[in-house]
Structure 1
Amino acid sequence: MEGNERLALALRERGFTQTALADVLNDYLYAVGHEGTVGDRTVRNWLTGKTKWPHPRQREALEAVFSCTAEELGFRPPARTGHPTTPREQPVKRRNFLTATTGTTAAVAVPLTGFTGAPSTVGTSDVIRLRERLDGLVALDQSRGGHAAVEKAALAGAVDALDKQKLAASQRIRQRLFSVAADFTASAAWNAIDAHRPNRAHDLLGKAVRLAGMSGDPVSEFEVWNLYAMLARQRGEYADAVDAAHAAQATAVTRRDPLFASLAHARTAVGQSYLGERQAALRSLGHAWEALDKSDPDAPRAAWMDFYGVGELAGLVGIVRNQLGDWTEAEAASHRSLANTPERFRRNRAMEYVSLAKAQLHQGDAELACATASTAFGVMGNHPLPGRLRSLIGDYYRDLLTLAPDAESAREWGDRYRSEWSRP
Structure 2
Amino acid sequence: MAETRNDALAAWMTEHQTSAGELADAVNEAIRDFTGRLGTTSERTVFRWLSGENRWPQARQRRALEAVTGQTTAALGFAPRGKFAAAPEPPPKDPSVHRRRFCGAATGTAAAAAVPLIAASRPSRVGTSDVIRLRDSIDTLTALDAERGGHNALERAALAGAAEALDLQRRSATQRVRARLYALASDFTATAAWSLIDAGRLDGAGKHLDRALTLAGMAQDPEMTMQVWNLCAMLARQRKDFGEAVAAAQAAQSTWAARRSRLHASLAHARTAIGLAHAGDRRAALRSLGRAEDALSKADTTEPRATWITFYGPAELYSLTAIVRDVVGDPAEAEAASYRALTALPETYRRNRAHTTVRLALAQLHQGEVEQAYTTSTDVFQIMAGDPLPGRMRQLLGDFHRDLITQAPPRIAHEWADRYRTEWSTP
TM-score norm. by structure 2 comes to 0.73
Whether the aligned pair in 2 keeps the contact of 1:157 and 1:184 (CA below 8 Å) is yes
- Give the counterpart of 1:219 among 202, 219, 223: 223
Within a 5 Å distance, the mapping from 1:25-424 to structure 2 comes to 38=43, 41-42=46-47, 44=49, 49=54, 121-406=125-410, 408-424=411-427
TM-aligned CA deviation for residue 255 of structure 1? 1.8
Letter matched to residue 345 of structure 2: T
Alpha-carbon separation, structure 1, partners of 2:267 and 2:50? 36
CA contact 2:24–2:43 (8 Å) conserved in 1: no
Which has more radius of gyration? 1
Give 5+ residue unaligned stretches, structure 2.
2-22, 31-41, 57-122
Q: Which amino acid aligns with 2:43?
A: V
Matched-pair contact (CA < 8 Å) for 1:143–1:345: no
- Does the 8 A contact of 2:386 with 2:424 survive in 1? no
Cα deviation for residue 45 of structure 1 reads 5.6
Give the Cα separation in 1 of the matches to 2:199 and 2:339. 25
Q: 1:243, CA displacement in angstroms? A: 0.2
Kindly indicate whether the alpha-carbon contact (under 8 Å) linking 2:249 and 2:269 is maintained by their aligned counterparts in 1.
yes
Give, in whole Å, the separation in 2 of the partners of 1:40 and 1:371.
Answer: 59
Please say if residues 353 and 373 of structure 1, whose CA atoms lie closer than 8 Å, have aligned partners that are also in contact.
Answer: yes
How far does residue 47 in structure 1 lie from its aligned partner after superposition? 11
Q: Which amino acid aligns with 2:237?
A: R
Secondary structure of the residue that 2:409 maps to in structure 1? coil
Task: Work out the CA distance in 2 between the residues paired with 1:194 and 1:267.
Answer: 16
TM-score (norm 1): 0.73
Q: Distance in 2 between matches of 1:261 and 1:254?
A: 4
Q: Tell me, in whole angstroms, the C-alpha distance in 2 between the residues paired with 1:153 and 1:21.
A: 28
Q: Is the 8 A contact 2:48 2:54 kept in 1?
A: no
Any stretches of 5+ residues in structure 1 without a counterpart? Answer: 2-16, 25-36, 52-118
Partner of 1:106: none
* Residue 19 (structure 1) shift: 3.8
2:346 is matched by which residue type in structure 1?
P
Deviations 1:136-195 (A, max 9, x none): 111221233111111111111111111111124211110000001100000010010000
The 8 Å contact of residues 22 and 40 in structure 1, kept in 2 or not, is answered as no
Counterpart code for 1:263: L
CA contact (8 A) 2:386 2:423 kept: no
In 1: Cα distance, 2:262 partner to 2:305 partner: 12
Per-residue deviation, residues 221-249 of structure 1 (Å, max 9, x unmatched): 00000000000000010000000000000
What is the DSSP-based 3-state SS (H/G/I as helix, E as strand, rest coil) of the residue aligned with 1:209? helix
User: What fraction of aligned residue pairs are identical, expressed as a percent?
Assistant: 54
Shift in CA distance, 47/405, structure 1 to aligned 2, threshold 3 Å: closer
Instruction: Tell me the amino acid that sits aligned with residue 41 of structure 1.
Output: V
For residues 229-279 of structure 1, the C-alpha deviation after alignment (integer angstroms, 9 at most, x for no partner) is 000000010000000000000000112211000000000000000111011
In structure 1, distance between residues paired with 2:338 and 2:318? 7
Contact 2:182 2:215 (8 Å CA) reproduced: yes
| C-alpha RMSD of the superposition | 2.4
The answer on whether the counterparts of 1:151 and 1:187 sit within 8 Å (CA) in structure 2 is yes
Instruction: Return the offset for 1:421.
Output: 4.0
Please list the CA deviations of residues 354-408 of structure 1 after superposition, one character each: whole Å capped at 9, or x if unmatched: 11000111112211111111112221224210000000000100000001133x4
Amino acid of the structure 2 residue aligned with 1:395: D
- Mapped to 1, the partners of 2:260 and 2:390 lie a distance apart of 34
Tell me, yes or no, if the aligned pair for 2:237 and 2:245 is still in contact at 8 Å. Answer: yes
* Structure 2 Cα separation of the partners of residues 323 and 261 of structure 1: 22
What's the CA shift string for 1:58-86, capped at 9, x where partnerless?
A: xxxxxxxxxxxxxxxxxxxxxxxxxxxxx
